[in-house]
Amino acid sequence: MSVVTKFNIDHTAIASPSGGSQLVTFVIEETNDRWPVISRLVSIRGAVDLAETFFSDEEIRTAEWLRLISTFEQGYPQPKMDWPLKQSSRELLCAKCVTYKQIAPMRVAKEPHMGKKSFMSLIWENEIFCTPEVFRGLEEIQAKGYEEWDVLIHKTGQISEKVRQLFIPAIAGLGVLVEDDLNRTTCPTCGTTKYYPHVKGAMRIKREALIPDTDFLLTNEWFGHGLLAWREILISSRIAKLILDKKWSGVRFKVVDVV
């Protein structure tokens, strides 16, 4: 019996892109009475233990820049079988570490069921999709630095009516100040460093890395491991406030310290 079943812990299980194994994740508060036992099991079995930080609305509203993080994943990018190696939406910068440039619309298996959510992403990737209402809100405040891209239903090639991609063209300069204890891998083929997900505390970024006069940026740095690779999404304070004010869901924020 797995630990999560035994202790009756809410969890998600996702198959890895290469198949064969499952990534089981769960969130537990350090104040939970099961935490001491689980914490021991995590260390005995060498499981990855990621401390996560949640920021208050006040911290979010007063931060100059934030990371935008999807909390609503709906299905896999298509064609799923060849992900991420053979994709019309991506030009790979390196076939080994799968860093990429998006060159065409993303494809999904079917129209997503958004329910009350305004944002979504797909499993394995970090591109962000939103409802038409979000794009209207962005237009109203004259947000800068994003493009509205079609999302295609894979089998038919039809354009999704439920969501469009919030495409972010601008990439910040190098400037994320990564903590020494954040694991990383350097690609033997191209030399690109990929960092493990940054989950502890605020991400620090040098001001000189930020491009002025925009509300959206991608980090220059890559994150992920194996066949996962993404750049973090950075948004300005006014975008975070808009999302909070409108009570749009499907994303959360993490404070970025500009230094």
Residues that bind Zn ion (CB under 5 A): 94, 96-97, 187, 189-190, 192
Q: Between 4 and 227, name the residue whose CB sits nearer to Zn ion.
A: 227
Q: Between 28 and 187, name the residue whose CB sits nearer to Zn ion.
A: 187
Phi-psi sector, 156: left (phi>0), alpha (psi -120 to 50), beta: alpha
Q: Between 97 and 130, name the residue whose CB sits nearer to Zn ion.
A: 97
Q: 183 Cβ partners below 8 Å, 6+ apart?
A: 195, 196, 225
Whether residue 109 contacts residue 121, with contact meaning beta carbons closer than 8 Å, is answered with no
Minimal distance, residue 20 CB to Zn ion, in Å:
22
Structure tokens at 100: 């990429």
Whether residue 218 contacts residue 168, with contact meaning beta carbons closer than 8 Å, is answered with yes
Q: Between 2 and 186, name the residue whose CB sits nearer to Zn ion.
A: 186
Minimal distance, residue 38 CB to Zn ion, in Å:
35
Q: Between 192 and 220, name the residue whose CB sits nearer to Zn ion.
A: 192
Minimal distance, residue 194 CB to Zn ion, in Å:
8
Minimal distance, residue 104 CB to Zn ion, in Å:
21
Minimal distance, residue 192 CB to Zn ion, in Å:
5
Reference 231, options 205, 206, 197; nearest CA is 197
Whether residue 257 contacts residue 203, with contact meaning beta carbons closer than 8 Å, is answered with yes
Minimal distance, residue 159 CB to Zn ion, in Å:
33
Whether residue 15 contacts residue 9, with contact meaning beta carbons closer than 8 Å, is answered with no
Half-sphere exposure of 205 (CA within 13 A, CB side): 29
Strand partners, 14: 23
Reference 228, options 194, 193, 203; nearest CA is 194
Minimal distance, residue 213 CB to Zn ion, in Å:
32
Half-sphere exposure of 22 (CA within 13 A, CB side): 8
Whether residue 111 contacts residue 153, with contact meaning beta carbons closer than 8 Å, is answered with yes
Q: Between 95 and 259, name the residue whose CB sits nearer to Zn ion.
A: 95
Query: What is the identity of the amino acid at 49?
Result: D
Q: Between 214 and 219, name the residue whose CB sits nearer to Zn ion.
A: 219
